[in-house]
Structure 1
């Protein structure tokens, strides 16, 4: 099998594998962080839910691209919509990753003013912003992307926007800028944790403070993995921009190698949309305990309880006076029973 065929196989099978693994996990993530009251107490829950919604959308759109009838080259409308939604959902997912990293930095800060930025009120206001912002930013893709003859490939119809999209929107806003933000807040959060013994000072709310510690561990682990997953794609993007003038002079073997590296870096970067639930599961014992409790509640796996129904049905009903009398004078009743028994024996 040639390098070109390997690249095509990766391009075909990776969306199916990632969707099968990531979509159910992302849906379960959103359901847990919406339905469990303990999770909703943390501002990061809003960012996790937003990221989960964007992850499912991105995985679904990438899966649609391998379906011939609705693929990116099926029609002009499919070309425009696919490019727009891929750009938008990837940007939204990376934005919520950055917001989660920002929230953990604010939560662990020693400054009271900065800690106020980590609140449910702020999270509610920021939740809708990535969806609106990236929808507006990527509107030009709906206008300047179409099937270009003679081969009718989905590409840019405007040379100026092609340079903006290839050099700015796609690489910088979806890869390089999120990577810089993630690394920055990861380092700042790590410095904050080194400086304080507690993550957040909240009197009379030790359970919430413990959960915030668990959330910080989960988000730091996710951010660290996202950095490692995004870094290869960032390096390949920088290389592509630096050698964009040489693309026309490459041989078929060179183009096959570049296509293979392209598909490998895309697959590695796609781990950002697949791994959040599994990272939380491995990083937090309390997250695992909550899932176990939810499963027991849903599947009725609790311990069986035996109720004395027969005794309750056959036992005589006692009045309040009889209960008090039996409790206050137990020795008198026992002595009367003994005397009656002796008398019956003598007779």
Structure 2
């Protein structure tokens, strides 16, 4: 029994380290390549990819910081409030940008010209700050009703009513259930549009590749979110039976919860690797970018003797005459 708890504890410690190590290059390359290359910025989905990458970066950083005892949420009252606030802010933001990408792909592949107008750079620029502003307003109560609770000084809710709302409504609905519903809905609608061969009529080659990348990432996100969705439903259904659980059942549930959190964490590390595997143009551009960057680092400034060059040039001209 204790071995199960020990495995869960080890998993809770090492999973943020693994996710951070794999996810940081993904977020970094997404931001550098999609921001730095002009032709990639022509797709509206690029704005949502950049927003998702920034959110992913903060999510992974928060998960890693929570493992560091010197920067733990229990260090001070302000640290407790800010860590809970940003953790509840960035995860819904990342899922919101993923949902916006799925919406954009449905709009750009639609039969209706009016719906296709929703897939534009102007619309994407206007929608880009909305997830950050919306979730910042929604999560303000975390700054008010969270603090260190004596005598153990654990970071938790100071208001029982808001604690129940946050645990059983805000966190599961906005971070898991609602994004999963939106992703499944727009994936089905986009598939129907593509199935009718509408995508070939008005989309460029890069937009077609972008659509394929977003669809694959959306499908992966659905499969990664489903285990956490099932566990959340199970926790809500068995809420009244919590006092009757044995130590073995609690240990198993703790281990399953850590596994589902790790699987869901794949959402925050996989975007660039999916784009790199399923987009020949992005793969070629990334290789050229890295090659140019490597050549730039290897370039060295060699001192030149101007007098020798002038003498050689004069000798060549004399020989030609």
TM-score by length of 2: 0.91
CA distances 1:26-79 after superposition (whole Å, capped 9, x unpaired): 111111000011110100110000000000000000101011111122222222
Instruction: Give the secondary structure class of the aligned counterpart of 1:155.
Output: strand
Contact 2:51 2:97 in 1 (8 A): yes
* Alpha-carbon distance in structure 2 between the residues aligned to 1:150 and 1:227: 41
Q: What does 1:307-318 align with in structure 2 at a 5 Å threshold?
A: 314=316
Q: Which runs of 5+ in 2 are unaligned?
A: 297-308
Instruction: Give the secondary structure class of the aligned counterpart of 1:146.
Output: strand
CA distances 1:182-233 after superposition (whole Å, capped 9, x unpaired): 000000000000112534526xxxxxx0000010010000000000000000
In the TM superposition, what is the alpha-carbon distance from 1:316 to its structure 2 partner? 7.2
Contact 1:107 1:200 in 2 (8 A): no
* Distance of aligned partners of 1:62 and 1:200 in 2 relative to their CA distance in 1, 3 Å threshold: farther
Give the 4+ runs in structure 1 shifted more than 6 A.
309-313
* Distance of aligned partners of 1:177 and 1:200 in 2 relative to their CA distance in 1, 3 Å threshold: farther
Contact 2:47 2:128 in 1 (8 A): yes
2:293 counterpart of 1:292:
no
Partner of 1:12: 13
Q: What does 1:12-91 align with in structure 2 at a 5 Å threshold?
A: 12-91=13-92
Instruction: Give the secondary structure class of the aligned counterpart of 2:236.
Output: helix
* Alpha-carbon distance in structure 2 between the residues aligned to 1:235 and 1:177: 13
Contact 2:109 2:198 in 1 (8 A): no
In the TM superposition, what is the alpha-carbon distance from 1:286 to its structure 2 partner? 1.0
* Alpha-carbon distance in structure 2 between the residues aligned to 1:315 and 1:83: 76
Match of 2:266 among 265, 271, 285: 271
Partner of 1:173: 174
* Alpha-carbon distance in structure 2 between the residues aligned to 1:179 and 1:312: 75
* Distance of aligned partners of 1:72 and 1:152 in 2 relative to their CA distance in 1, 3 Å threshold: same
In the TM superposition, what is the alpha-carbon distance from 1:296 to its structure 2 partner? 2.2
Match of 2:205 among 210, 213, 221: 210
Partner of 1:324: none
Count of aligned pairs: 306
| Greater C-alpha radius of gyration | 1
CA distances 1:117-160 after superposition (whole Å, capped 9, x unpaired): 00000000000000000011011011111222333222211121
Partner of 1:257: 252
Instruction: Give the secondary structure class of the aligned counterpart of 1:147.
Output: strand
Partner of 1:306: none
Q: Which runs of 5+ in 1 are unaligned?
A: 203-208, 302-308, 319-347
* Alpha-carbon distance in structure 2 between the residues aligned to 1:225 and 1:47: 17
In the TM superposition, what is the alpha-carbon distance from 1:19 to its structure 2 partner? 0.4
Structure number with higher relative contact order (C-alpha < 8 Å, ≥ 6 residues apart):
2
Partner of 2:275: 280
In the TM superposition, what is the alpha-carbon distance from 1:251 to its structure 2 partner? 2.0
2:185 counterpart of 1:190:
no
Partner of 1:244: 239
Instruction: Provide the aligned C-alpha RMSD in A.
Output: 2.0
